[in-house]
Amino acid sequence: MSLTEERTAVAPKRTAARRAVGVVLPLLLLGVWQLLAGSGIYSPAQLPPPGEVASAFGELAGRGELWHHIAISTQRVLIGFALGAVLGLALGGLVGLSRTANAALSPTVQAIRAVPSLAWVPLLLLWLGVGETPKIVLVAIGAFFPVYATVSAALTHVDSHLTEVGRAYGRSGLRLVATVLFPAATPAILSGLRLGLAQGWLFLVAAELIASSMGLGFLLIDSQNTGRTDVMLLAIVLLAALGKLTDTLLGFAETRLLTARR
Amino acid sequence: MREPAGLEFSGVGRAFTVAGRHRQVLAGIDLTVAPGEVIALLGPSGCGKSTLLRLAAGLDSPTAGAVSVDGRPVRGIEPRCAVVFQEPRLLPWRTLFRNVAYGLPRGVTGAPARQEVEHWLSVVGLDAFAQHRPRQLSGGMAQRAALARALARRPGVLLLDEPFAALDALTRLRMQDLLAEVQREAGTTVLLVTHDADEALHLADRIVLLGPSEDPAAGSSIRLVLPVPGARPRDRGDSTLAELRASLLSELGVNIHGRIQA
Ligand SMILES: Nc1ncnc2c1ncn2[C@@H]1O[C@H](COP(=O)(O)OP(=O)(O)OP(=O)(O)O)[C@@H](O)[C@H]1O
Ligand SMILES: [Mg+2]
């Protein structure tokens, strides 16, 4: 008892220290960036210093358009992720629970999974037009596969000893899924959701690079066309930050869910 | 409370086919266990003790003969049996309370369910640990919880597969006494698989020795049924049991002077 108390008392300090360590590398990179930009190896058009990127941020934020780009990108990711995650859970669940479904579906799904994100874009444009739908669908495709893969693998690899306990105590079918298989697979399923969200952001940029007039991907391609390297770097930094932010939020939810049952 | 049930094996055989090769594990098992009787099942490793137990639980089905509980054939999971495995196999995401509740028969809910779980937790001496998780328990405590889970099912037949084998000697003695006490209280029929001759002599009404026949390909069958004299609970130091113990050990191939016979 006292041992665990001590451990919980020490833990917050330690994790705080560990988090602080994570800030060191970004600061270092920022320093290197500043040095490189000032060294004259690259022209300011190739590599503007961090300060210029910050002022680009101020400029775009001041005009209000930056928030629009951020909002529309985030919205696409969240809707697409929700769709892809639900589908991934459903199909991954089916394949993980039924050997027949596994034999029938998984080779095809594996093959479709191998299609690179950019290869989908022309097809989606052709079928779904240039509105929001193709972008959301592409994000959904991106989010689907990691969720599908982790959920199906987690469910097939549930400890057979525990499944046997469920059977021995009269659980079968959906009751076995609800009381043994699903709870046993929960940690893996949660990390699959995080992977899906991360891949959703990757696919978002693919969608926005090609056919859009808003969003961070558009900002990226537009800045290339107008020669605004500072805006380009800003878009990249924002994509990284937003991806990390949404992952952290999902990570919090994950930790809360898992500690609740520890 | 549910009545103790009778258990009958008639002409039971079980063969496995592994990689295209047929292997007879059990053959011609005839055994009738009276309601309330305690049977210890002894035999060399790999002779099919667990397999026989799984047949009684309905976790597996025989390739020959039939198993019946109270005269009704076992088909699928047998609701009148409860199993304790060699490992505790508690569901790690559930508290002890909810693990024991997992054993309750279908339809027992609400206040009666809570009382039942609390009763069995206190019988195995774990009432103070109801809200603990399995990983916070010692091996002996976890195995006690597994016993409580089985008892919560109010089984007609309690099937125990070497439940104390992994415990240290002292804990094992305590668990044996606990089992004897619980058996007296619940009156359940018990089929106890064990490697321990002393455990068998201490707890059982009859000892059933399982072993391979002269022809090793024919599968194991019952070599010997040994009634244990005297009423339970027996004194561990009882000298009349010493002779029985020696003959039992020699049947198992152990020379009492410490050498293993060829
Ligand atoms: N599902 C299975 N498929 C194939 N063979 C099996 C299966 N289950 C058991 N066997 C075989 O049956 C034999 C008996 O196994 P079992 O587990 O019943 O032995 P046991 O007497 O309980 O041994 P131990 O004392 O070591 O636990 C073993 O040779 C094992 O390989
Ligand atoms: Mg065994």
Whether omega before B112 lies within 30 degrees of 0, making that bond cis, reads no
Whether A168 and B77 lie within 8 Å, measured CB to CB: yes
Q: Where are the beta strands (DSSP E) in chain B?
A: 7-18, 21-33, 38-42, 64-69, 72-73, 81-84, 157-161, 189-193, 206-212, 220-227
A164:B103 CB<8 A: no
B239 lines ligand 1 (CB under 6 A): no
Beta bridge partners of B12: B29
How many CB atoms are located within 10 Å of the residue A97 CB? 20
Structure tokens at A98: 């039924």
Query: Regarding beta strands B220-227 and B206-212, do their DSSP bridges make them parallel or antiparallel, or are they unpaired?
Result: antiparallel
Q: Ligand 1 pocket: which of B50, B85, B161, B208 to mutate (most atoms <8 Å of CB)?
A: B50
Residues in chain A: 262
Q: Enumerate the residues of chain B whose CB falls inside 8 A of the CB of residue A172.
A: 77
Phi, psi of A147 (to 5 degrees): -65, -50
B89 vs A161, A170, A262: nearest CB: A161
Greater pLDDT, A237 or B186 = A237
Ligand 1 atom 2 nearest Cα: B16
Residues 178-217 of chain A whose Cβ lies under 8 A from any Cβ of chain B: 179-180, 183-184, 186
Coil, strand or helix: which one is B131?
Answer: coil
Beta bridge partners of B161: B193
B49 interface with A at CB cutoff 8 Å: no
Write the CA distances from A227 to A33, A214, B110, B117, B120, integer angstroms. 19, 18, 70, 72, 75
Q: A74: buried, middle or exposed (CB in 10 Å: 19+, 13-18, 0-12)?
A: middle
| B58-83 residue pLDDT tens | 999 999 999 999 999 999 999 999 99
Tokens of A139: 């994000």
- Give CA A158 to chain center in angstroms: 25
Residue of A nearest to B84 (CA): A165
Render each residue's pLDDT in chain A as its tens digit; 262 residues: 444 444 555 566 777 888 788 889 989 999 999 999 888 888 888 899 999 999 999 999 999 889 999 999 999 999 999 999 999 999 999 999 999 999 999 999 999 988 888 888 888 888 998 889 999 999 999 999 999 999 999 999 999 999 999 999 999 999 999 999 999 999 999 999 999 999 999 999 988 887 788 999 999 999 999 989 999 999 999 999 999 999 999 999 898 888 877 6
DSSP for B26-85 reads: EEEEEEEE-TT-EEEEE--TTSSHHHHHHHHHTSS--SEEEEEETTEEP-SS-TTEEEE-
Q: Which residues of A touch B86 (CB under 8 A)?
A: none
Candidate from B85, B91, B103 with C-beta closest to A180: B91
Q: Which long-range contacts (C-beta less than 8 Å, at least 24 apart) are formed by B118-121?
A: B120/B148, B120/B149, B120/B151, B120/B152, B121/B96, B121/B97, B121/B145, B121/B148
CB B155 within 8 A of CB B188: yes
**Best of B53, B78, B89 to mutate (most A CBs within 10 Å, chain A):** B89
Query: In this structure, are strands B157-161 and B189-193 parallel, antiparallel, or unpaired?
Result: parallel
Q: Which residue of A has its CA nearest to B146?
A: A165
Tokens of B8: 């009958």
DSSP reduced 3-state for A103? helix
Structure tokens belonging to residue A3: 């041992």
Closest residue in chain A to residue B56, using alpha carbons only: A168
Structural domains of chain A sorted by starting position, each given as residue range(s) with its CATH number in brackets: 65-261 (1.10.3720.10)
Q: Give how far A252 is from chain B: nearest CA, Å.
A: 19
In the reported structure, the alpha carbon of residue B78 is separated from the centroid of ligand 1 by a whole-number distance in angstroms of 21
Whole-number Å distance, alpha carbon B86 to ligand 2 midpoint, is: 8
Side chain identity, residue A120: W
What is the pTM (predicted TM-score) of this model? 0.83
pLDDT for B257 equals: 53
A22 touches chain B (CB under 8 A): no
CB contact under 8 A, B93 and A183: yes
State mean pLDDT over B39-52.
93
Chain B window 226-255: which residues touch A at a Cβ cutoff of 8 Å? none
Asked if B67 and B55 touch (Cβ cutoff 8 Å), the reply is: yes
Residue A169 and residue B79: Cβ atoms within 8 Å? no
Kindly indicate whether the ipTM for this predicted assembly is greater than 0.85, answering yes or no.
Answer: yes
How far, in Å, are A73, A84, A134, A231, A247 from residue A206 at the CA level?
12, 16, 11, 18, 19
